[in-house]
Amino acid sequence: MSKAIPPRTMTVIAVLLTFASGASDVTSFTRLGNVFTSVMTGNITVFGLSLARGSASLALHTAVAVAGYVTGVAAGTLIGRYRMDRVVAKSPAEPAGENWPAHMTLTLAAELTLLAGVLAGWEATGSRPAGWAQYVILAVAACAMGIQSAAVVQLGLGNVSTTYLTGTLTGLVSAVFRPEEEIGWRRPGVLAGLLAGASLAGVLVAKAAWAVPCLPLLGVAAATVLGTRSVNSR
C-alpha cells in the first residue's frame, strides 16, 4: 500500500537522487571509460562517435553502460511489479500520485547494494579501475542508475526525472514563459542537485578520488531514509 509524502519532502528526495546520479556520471566519465551511467541518450551518441572513429574500446564501454542500465530498469520494474501485485491481492489498488509505494524502500535498498559494490571495487582498484574491473564496475554503476530511474517513475513525480533531465530543463524553461503555469521548486531543485553532485564529484576526482563513489551512495541512502521515515511518521 502506498503512503502519501508531503510535496516538499518528495522534492528533497528527488534532489538527493539527482545529486547521486550527477556524481555517478562524473565518476564514470572520468574513470570508467568516458561514458555515462544514467544518460543513455548521451551514451548512444558516444556509441555513434565510436563507430565513426573505429574505437572498439569506446564502443564496448558504451555497450556495457547501456546494458547495465537496461538491466537495472528491468530489475527495478520487476521488484515494483512483484510487490504491487502482492499488495493489490490483499487490498484495493490506490490511485497513482506522489506516494511512497510499499516496495520503494526495497527498490532503493537494491540500488544501495549495487553502489556499495561500486565503492568496494573502486577501493580495490586504487580508485583507477582498468581492464575487466573497469567494465564490471561500470556495469554495476549503470545498473544502479537504471534501478533508480525505474523507482522514480513509480514515485509519480510527473515530468521530473532524476537521471535524464533534458525534459525537466525543457519543462522549466517553458514554464518561465508561461505565466499561468506555476514553476515551483522541484524542477530547478533537481537541476541544482545534478550540478552539485557533478561539481563535488569533479573536485573529489582531483583531490580525493577514493571518496568519489561515496557521493552516490550517500545521496541514495539519505533519500531512502527520508522517504521511509516520512512514511512511518504519518
Q: pLDDT (tens digit, 9 = 90+) per residue, 173-198? A: 887 787 766 777 888 899 999 999 99
Do 99 and 154 contact (CB within 8 A), yes or no?
Answer: no
Neighbouring residues of 166: CB distance < 8 A, sequence distance ≥ 6: 41
Q: What is the pLDDT of residue 158?
A: 62
Average pLDDT over residues 69-98: 69
Average pLDDT over residues 27-48: 95
Average pLDDT over residues 18-26: 96
Tell me the pLDDT of the chain averaged across its residues: 87
Q: What is the pLDDT of residue 2?
A: 57
Does 27 score more than 90 pLDDT?
Answer: yes
Q: What is the pLDDT of residue 107?
A: 93
Q: In whole angstroms, what is the distance from residue 37 CA to residue 28 CA? A: 6
Confidence of residue 164 (pLDDT cuts 50, 70, 90): confident
R_g of the chain computed on alpha carbons: 18
Q: What is the pLDDT of residue 89?
A: 45
Q: pLDDT (tens digit, 9 = 90+) per residue, 118-158? A: 999 999 999 999 999 999 999 999 999 999 999 988 887 66
Do 110 and 77 contact (CB within 8 A), yes or no?
Answer: no
Does 93 score more than 50 pLDDT?
Answer: no
Do 159 and 98 contact (CB within 8 A), yes or no?
Answer: no
Does 219 score more than 80 pLDDT?
Answer: yes
188, burial (CB in 10 Å: exposed 0-12, middle 13-18, buried 19+)? middle
Average pLDDT over residues 205-219: 96
CA distances (Å), origin 184, targets 57, 161, 188: 43, 15, 8
CB atoms within 10 A of CB 221: 19
Amino acid at 191: L
